[in-house]
Amino acid sequence: MLSIVSDPSLPPPSTPPGPSGPAPGPGPSGTRGSDVAVVLVSHNGARWLPTVIEGIAAQRVAPDRVVAVDTTSRDQSPELLTAAFGAPLTARGDTSYPAAVDLALRHLDEIGDGSEWIWLLHDDSTPDPDALGELLAATARNPEADILGPKLREWPSLRRLLEVGVTISGTGQRELGLERGEYDQGQHDEQRSVLAVNTAGMLVRRRVLDALGGFDEQLPIFGNDIDFGWRAAAAGHGCVVVPDAVVFHAEAAHRGLRSTPLTGKHTHYQERRAALFTLLVNASGPGLVFQTFRLAFGTLLRMIGFFLVRSPGEALDDLAALVSVYSKPSKIAAGRRRRKAERSANPVGPGKASEEERGRRVRSLLAPRWLPYRHGLDLVGDVFSAVTDQASDVAERRRIAAAELDPSSLAARRVSRSDLDDPDADEEAEADLDAQSALGRFVTNPISLLLTVFVIAALILARPAFGDFAGGALSPAPESGGSWWGLFGETWHELAQGTDVPAPGYVPVLALLSLIAGASGAVTVLLVLAVPFGLWGAWRFLRVAGRLIDPLGAPRWLLLIGAAGYALVPVASGAWGQGRLGLVVASALLPWLAHAALGFADPEPRRRWPAGWRTGLLLALTASFAPVAWFVVLALVVVTGAIGLAVNARAVRSRQVWGPMLVTLAVPAVLLLPWWLPALTSGGGAGLLLDTGRLPLPAVAGSDLLLGRLPDAGAPLWAGVVLLALAALALVPRSSRLAVAACWVIIAILAGTALLLSLVGIDLPSGVQPVGLGYPMILIQGAALTALVLGGIGFARAGVPAPVRWVFGLVAAVVPVVGLFQFATGEVRLGDDPGSVVPEYMSERVQHEPERGILVMTGVAEDGLDYRVLRGDGVRLGEDEILALTPEDSGLTDVITRLTSEPNPDVVAELADAGIEYLVYPGPVDPTIASGLDASGGLAQASASEAGTRAWRVTRELDGNALAAPDGLDTWVRPLLIAVSGVGLLVTLVLCAPTGERRRRRDDPADPAGPELPGAPGAPVAPGAQPAAPATANPGGRRIR
C-alpha cells in the first residue's frame, strides 16, 4: 500500500491578499492561461483537503484562479485553504452548494475575473494532474459543449468507477450506466453526450452558468447536478463527459461520512427529495400527472423493499421525502415556471434547436423506461442469493476472528494460508469451472452424479404421495385451500359439536402453499420435496460445520453420506411411510434451522441478531408442524446456557450472546400466538406437547428414540445401531473430538429432555396419548449424523491409514443405503385409508352442510360405546388436532347414553337439536341397542355401505343453529392475535432478511472509506501513483448480506 504525502518540493503558498488567490502554481510541467477559475467549496473537509489542494496544484494545465468557499468548517479546513489559496470566502454553515457557488461567482465578478470556464471541485474530490488539461482539450474538440465532466473514480480505491456521466430514471434513481464496483479498465473511455455530470470536477462555461441562474437553491446539496444538466439540455446546451479527465471523489456526503446542517443525518432523505423534486419540476407538462402518481406508488414499493432489507430508516426517509415534496406544490410550480422560462429563452450556445428537438434530445439522454424494472429484478436476485448464502461463511469469519485475537495461532496460519492460497485457488478453480462446460463438469464428478441420482430416486420413490394418498396418520387434504384459511381464521369451528380449540400452526402454512399447488398438491409438495430439501439443507449445514473444524471442510463423499443419510431420516424412521407429515416437514427443516443457528457462533455480534431472528423464524415454522420442537430448543438453550455459564460466565452474560437466543425462542411464541394462546385458554394446551397428525400417536420409547425409529415402523433397528456406534467412534480422532463431543452432549440433553417430557401424561377426551417425542428423535439422528461427519473429517485428516478410512466410509454409507432401501421397500401407509364407514350418499348429502352431522358409534353395551360426530366432508388434514383436543360434549354423551339404553322420541329430538342427521353403527352391533334404535321412533332405518353396519336417519327437523358459537365467545380476539402474529412475521422477515450495509459503513473499521483511513495504513494513494490493491467493499451500490 502506498500513502500520499505532501510533496515537499512544492513552494509554501504565499500569504494571499484576499479571499481568493492565484492558483498555487502549475504542476511540474503545467502551463497557465487556461481561462479557468476553480471554485472549491469546502465544509469540514480537512480530512481530504491536503490531497485536493495538492491535486489542484499538480494540474499540468493550471487554472488561472482558485476561489475557495468555506461554509464555516469546524476543522482545519479554513487554515488549509488559507495556506493554499489565501483566505477563503466564508459563508454560514447551512449555506447550500448552489449558494456557495453563487458566492464564488459573485466574488469573481467583484475582482473582475472574466474566466470563460468555471471548474467546480469539492473538498473531497481531487483531480488527476491531467484532468483540467483533458477537459480543456475536449472543449476545443467540442465547441458546442458547454458543460464537461471528468470520469469520477472512487477515492480511496482509485480504481473503481463512480460516474462517467449521469442521468436519472423515471423513478428518480440516479443512473450511472455502470455495474456495481466496476473497475476502470478503460471500458467507458468514450467521450459522449450525457444528461449531466457531477459537480465534482464539472467544467462549465461561465455564461451558461449565468444564463441558467446557477444551480437550483431548492436542491441544496444532492441532485443539483442532474437538475442543472437537465435544465441545460432543455435550454439546448451540450453536456459531455470526458473520460480522459479523471477526478477522484470520496462522496463523503453521499456516503454519510460527514453530515452537514444541510444533509442532517438523513442523507437518503435529501437524495430522495432531490430526485423527486428534479423529476417533478423538469417533467413535461403532459407527463406530470402520471409522474406524480407513479412516484407516490413507487415510493410505497420502495418502502416495502427497504423494510424487507431491514432499512426502515431509509423507508421512512423515502416517505418523508415524498411528503416533503408533495406538500409544497407551490415550490414545484415555481420551479416549473422557472424552467419553462429558461427553455423559452434563446439558448446562448450554438445548439439553436427548436424546443421540440430539445425535448427529444433530453428524452434520449434520460434513462430508458425499462431500467427501473431491471433494477427490481436485480434486487430480487441479490436478495435471494443473499438469503441462501447467509451464515455459510460463519466458519471463515470465526477463523479470521480467531486469527485476529491470536496472530500466532493455528487459525491465523490457516487464515494466511487461505488468504494467500485459497482465494487464488478458488478463483482458478472457478475459472476452470467456467471454462468447462456444465455437462462436462457434471459427468466427471461422481459426487454430483450420485447426488443427482439420489434426488431422482427420492422423487420417484415418493410416488405414493401423488394422487389420493391419505392414510396412516395423514388425513385427506380438503378440497381446496379455502378450508384451511377458514380453519385458520375462524374462532369457532363447526367440527364435532362446535369447538373453539384453535387450528394447529401448520394450517396457515398449508393454506399458503395451497395458493400455489392446491390443497392436495400442497401436501404432495411437502412429502415429495422433503427428502431433496433435507438433503440440500443437510449438505449446506454439514459443509459449514465441517469448515468449523477444518478450513478445508469435509470431503465431499463424507458430505454426501451425511446429507443423504440425514435426508432419509424421516423415511428410515417410518414417519414418511406412516404419513406423519409434521415430523417429515420438521425433519426437512432441521438442517436449515441448524444452519441458521450456526450464526450464533458468528464472531461479529451484530450478525448474531439476524441469526437469532432467522433461527426463530425457522423454529416457528418447525414448531407449527412439530410443536414439541420449541420445548426441545428451550431445553437445549437452557442446558447449553448453563454449561456456558459454568465454562465462561462472562461470555454468556453478554447480551450479544443470550439476546439472539432469546429472540429465537420468542419469535415462535409471537408467530404461533393464534395457535398457542387460544390452545392454552380453551383447554387444548396438551396439543403443544403432542406430535401432529391422526391419533393414535406413536409412543417413541427408549431404543426407538435413540435409534430413530417410530414404534413398529421404519428401517431395521440395526441400522440405527450402526449410526450410533459410528457417532461414538467419531470421538476417536483428536482433531474433531471437541465438535463430536459437543454433538454427544446435545444428544444427551435431548435424551434427558425426552425423559422429562415422557413423564408428562396427556389425557385427551378420547384417551391417553403419548407425549410427542418424534422431534427429539429426529434431532438425535441429526446430531449423530453430524458427529459421524465431523469424526469422518477427523479420520480423513488425521493421517489415519487409508483402509481404516475406507472401512469407516463404507460402514457409514450403510446409513443412507438402508434409508433408501426402506424408501423403496418399506411399509407405506399413504393411500391405504380404509375409507369411511359412512356411506357415500350420506357424505354427499352433508358435505356442504356442517349442521347435518353424522354420529358414528362403535362398541356394545357390555363393553362400552365410543362415538364421534363427523361433519362436512369428514375429518380433513388440519382438523385432527382440533378434534383430538376438543373437550367432551357431556350433553351429547348423555343423549347418546340414553339413546343406546332406552331410546324414545324425546331422546331422538335431542339428537336433532344437536345437529345430527345420521347415525351410523358399524358392526359388530349390539342387537339390543340396534333394535332399540329401530324402535325409538324418530329414527328411520337407512342403508349402510357394509354388511353388519346399521344406519339410521333422524326424521326430526334438525336445529340449524346447533353448531352456533356460544354467546360469550370473543370473536375479536382471534383476528387480533392473527394481526399480531402477522406483524410479528413481517418484523421477523425484515429483521432476518439480509441487510443493505451501505449505511453501516461509518461504523465499520474494516471499511476502506471509513473515517480513520486518511493517514492510516491503507489510506488513499496519490492520484497518479500506483493504484491500491482492489478493495473488497462495494462502493456506492447497496451490498446485501
Span 676-705, contacts to another protein by CB under 8 A: 694-703, 705
Cα–Cα distance for residue pair 783/781, rounded to 1 Å: 5
Largest CA distance in the chain: 123
Q: Which of 94, 430, 827, 866 binds another protein (CB under 8 A)?
A: 866
Q: Does 927 bind another protein (CB under 8 A)?
A: yes
971 contacts another protein (rule: CB under 8 A): no
Does residue 737 belong to the site contacting another protein (CB under 8 A)? yes
Q: Which residues contact 990 (CB under 8 A, 6 or more apart)?
A: 307, 308, 309, 310, 312
N- to C-terminal Cα separation, the chain: 28
Instruction: Count CB neighbours of 272 within 10 A.
Output: 26
Q: Which range binds another protein by CB under 8 A, 171-179, 274-282, 415-423, 737-745? A: 737-745
Which residues, in sequence order, are CB contacts of 698 under 8 Å at separation 6+? 578, 580, 691, 710, 711, 713, 770, 774
The answer to whether residues 539 and 474 touch, using CB atoms and an 8 Å cutoff, is no
Asked if 870 is part of the footprint of another protein (rule: CB under 8 A), the reply reads yes
Residues 771-790 that bind another protein (CB under 8 A): 771, 773, 780
For the record, the C-alpha cell of 38 comes out as 476553480
Nearer to another protein, 744 or 821 (CB): 744
Which region among 168-176, 251-259, 767-775, 809-817 touches another protein (by CB under 8 A)?
A: 767-775
Q: Interface with another protein includes 740 (CB under 8 A)? A: yes
Q: For residue 868, state whether it binds another protein (rule: CB under 8 A).
A: yes
- Classify strands 203-205 and 145-154 as parallel, antiparallel or unpaired: antiparallel
Q: How far is the CB of 641 from another protein (least distance, A)?
A: 17
Binding residue for another protein, selected from 114, 407, 605, 767, defined by CB under 8 A? 767
Minimal distance, residue 842 CB to another protein, in Å: 16
872: alpha, beta or left? (left if phi > 0; alpha if psi -120 to 50)? left
CA 1020 – CA 51 distance, rounded (Å): 9
Which of 385, 941, 943, 1026 touches another protein (CB under 8 A)? 941
Site for another protein in 645-664 (CB under 8 A): none
Distance CA 98, CA 91 (A): 12
x/- mask, another protein, residues 475-504, rule CB under 8 A, reads: ---------------------x--------
Q: Which three cell numbers stand for residue 78?
A: 479554513
Of 61-69, 545-553, 566-574, 756-764, the window that binds another protein (rule: CB under 8 A) is: 756-764
Nearer to another protein, 326 or 744 (CB): 744
| Closest CB to another protein among residues 860, 989 | 860
| Positions 873 through 912 that interact with another protein (CB under 8 A) | 875, 880, 883-884, 888-889, 893, 896-898, 900-902, 904
Residue 1038: name the closest of 389, 378, 394 by CA: 378
Residue 1001: DSSP 8-state = G
# of chain residues touching another protein (CB under 8 A): 85
Q: Which of residues 942-961 bind another protein (CB under 8 A)?
A: 950
CA distances from 119 to 7, 67, 221, 929 (A): 23, 10, 17, 105
Q: How far is CA 867 from each of CA 909, 920, 962, rounded to the nearest angstrom?
A: 18, 10, 18
410 lines the binding site for another protein (CB under 8 A): no
Question: Which C-beta is closer to another protein: that of 79 or that of 913?
Answer: 913
Binding residue for another protein (CB under 8 A) from 418, 491, 769, 995?
Answer: 769
Give the nearer residue to another protein in terms of CB position, either 323 or 935: 935
The residue from 754, 793, 962, 1040 that contacts another protein (CB under 8 A) is 754
CA 863/CA 926 separation, integer angstroms: 10
935 is a site residue for another protein (CB under 8 A): yes
Residues of this chain, 836-865, that bind another protein according to CB under 8 A: 856, 858-865
Q: Is 758 in the site for another protein (CB under 8 A)?
A: yes
**Is 473 exposed, middle or buried (CB count within 10 Å of its CB: 0-12, 13-18, 19+)?**
buried
- Using a 10 angstrom Cβ sphere, with 0-12 exposed, 13-18 middle and 19 or more buried, the burial of residue 338 is middle
What does the alpha-carbon distance between residue 403 and residue 732 come to, in Å, rounded to a whole number?
A: 27
Coil, strand, or helix at residue 454?
A: helix
Q: Minimum distance between the CB of residue 519 and another protein, rounded to whole angstroms?
A: 19
Is 748 a binder of another protein (CB under 8 A)? Answer: yes
Tell me the C-alpha distance between 705 and 754, whole Å: 8
* Distance between CA atoms of residues 377 and 503, nearest Å: 37
Least distance to another protein from the beta carbon of 898, Å? 8
| Of 111, 387, 449, 755, the one binding another protein by CB under 8 A | 755
**Site for another protein contains 762 (CB under 8 A):** yes
> Does 583 interact with another protein (rule: CB under 8 A)?
no
Residue 647 beta carbon to another protein: minimum distance, rounded to whole angstroms: 11
- Site residues (CB under 8 A) for another protein, limited to 706-735: 706, 724, 728, 731, 734
